């Protein structure tokens, strides 16, 4: 019963009278999902790069939150910038609500000096949301003594109105900005610029039915420890701030890489309360980089949720060549290693 209560509380944050007044899914390994964080990061790896991400949040609950993302990006000198495409799939409660999206990105590169550059990006895409009405539970289905007494096998075991559609689709747009030197960077990304109205009931347009803007700002530095043919060892402190509707999160942490092994530690705070410590460990070899992270929940939800597991895989097809020949790209300023994962 305790797990059901946790799940219902979480679900209330995502579904409100069947209007999507929700927050986007987030990854803890921000820089292993660069296109998801900020479209202006498209092309920062110079050569073709593929990113694959998987996240399982609150696995101890009967209904967890699972998110997948796959991205591709590269810099093209002839276009004076980078291109990218990424798809994502998010499932709440074993398909109770599913969100699938695909986006295309173009980031224009500005070389402002030998050691300073900037990128401005636009992204456009298509989003599809689906609900499974038969999994829905509402307050009028709960008896204060006996709990769930209605049969969920009936067509409509609640007085709530049936949705007009169990699937909705809409276009979606975003933008991003990145400014960087060889050691420091600052980025800002925004999603849902047009704030599309999202409703399964077809009710009158209201402000609460709009998909809220997602704002993400990130800042950091890179301090090189050593560099040779086997790669670069570095220490990189970073800050990531995300705001969407009435939800905020602030991540403060750092990455450390020595040879083929890297690790990370960060703390996530939701402004009103502490949320989690995030531990990251990974290995890198040639064009491959694989990482695993675990969110240690420190909020009032406690350890009963199971925290969150996350796995990332990056294939940077020009990694070795880029490190040995940083001047290969005429219109690119070398960026910090954390952006060239």
| Rounded-to-integer distance, Cα 237 and Cα 35, Å | 20
Longest dimension (CA), the chain: 71
Cα dihedral 8, 128, 188, 118 in deg (nearest 10): 160
Q: What is the model's pLDDT at position 314?
A: 96
pLDDT in tens, the chain (341 residues): 444 444 444 444 444 434 444 578 899 999 999 999 999 999 998 889 999 999 998 887 766 789 999 999 999 988 999 999 999 999 887 778 899 999 999 999 998 888 899 999 999 999 999 988 777 766 667 766 666 655 444 444 666 666 677 888 999 999 999 999 989 999 999 999 999 988 777 655 555 678 899 999 999 999 998 877 667 789 999 999 999 988 899 999 999 999 899 999 999 999 888 999 999 999 998 899 999 999 998 887 766 778 899 999 999 987 654 443 445 555 667 788 888 87
| Domain ranges within the chain, ordered by starting residue | 2-130+162-340
Task: List C-alpha distances in Å: 95 to 20, 64, 100, 166, 318.
Answer: 15, 10, 12, 12, 38
- CB atoms under 10 Å from CB of 312, counted, come to 24
- Under a CB-based contact definition with an 8 Å cutoff, are residues 176 and 38 in contact? yes
Q: What is the model's pLDDT at position 59?
A: 81
State whether residue 133 is helix, strand or coil. helix
CATH of domain 2-130+162-340: 2.40.160.40
Task: List C-alpha distances in Å: 269 to 250, 251, 259.
Answer: 5, 6, 31
């Amino acid at each position: 019963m305790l797990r059901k209560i946790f799940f219902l509380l979480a679900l209330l944050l995502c579904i409100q009278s069947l209007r999507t007044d929700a927050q986007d899914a987030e990854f803890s390994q921000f820089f292993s999902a660069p296109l998801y964080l900020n479209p202006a990061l498209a092309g920062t790896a110079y050569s073709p790069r593929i990113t694959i991400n998987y996240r399982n949040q609150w696995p101890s609950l009967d209904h967890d939150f699972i998110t997948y993302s796959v991205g591709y990006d590269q810099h093209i000198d002839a276009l004076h910038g980078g291109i990218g495409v990424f798809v994502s799939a998010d499932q709440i409660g074993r398909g109770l609500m599913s969100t699938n999206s695909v986006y295309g990105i173009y980031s224009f590169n500005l070389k402002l000096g030998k050691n300073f550059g900037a990128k401005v990006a636009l992204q456009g895409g298509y989003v599809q949301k689906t609900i499974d009405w038969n999994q829905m539970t509402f307050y009028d289905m709960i008896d204060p003594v006996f709990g769930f007494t209605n049969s969920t096998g009936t067509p409509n075991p609640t007085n709530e109105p049936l949705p007009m559609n169990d699937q909705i689709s809409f276009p979606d747009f975003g933008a991003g900005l990145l400014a960087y030197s060889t050691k420091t960077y600052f980025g800002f990304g925004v999603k849902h610029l047009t704030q599309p109205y999202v409703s399964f009931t077809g009710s009158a347009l209201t402000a609460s039915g709009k998909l809220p803007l997602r704002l993400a700002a990130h800042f950091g530095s890179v301090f090189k420890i050593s560099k040779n043919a086997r790669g670069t060892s570095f220490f990189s402190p970073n800050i990531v701030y995300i705001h969407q509707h009435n939800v905020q999160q602030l991540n403060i942490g750092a990455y450390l890489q020595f040879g083929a092994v890297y690790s990370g530690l960060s703390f996530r705070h939701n402004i009103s309360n502490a949320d989690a410590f995030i531990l990251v460990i990974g290995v890198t070899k040639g064009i491959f980089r694989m990482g695993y992270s675990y969110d240690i929940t420190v909020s009032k939800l406690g350890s009963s949720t199971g925290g969150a597991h996350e796995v990332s895989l990056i294939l940077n097809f020009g990694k070795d060549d880029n490190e040995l020949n940083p001047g290969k790209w005429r219109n690119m300023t070398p960026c910090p290693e954390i952006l060239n994962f």
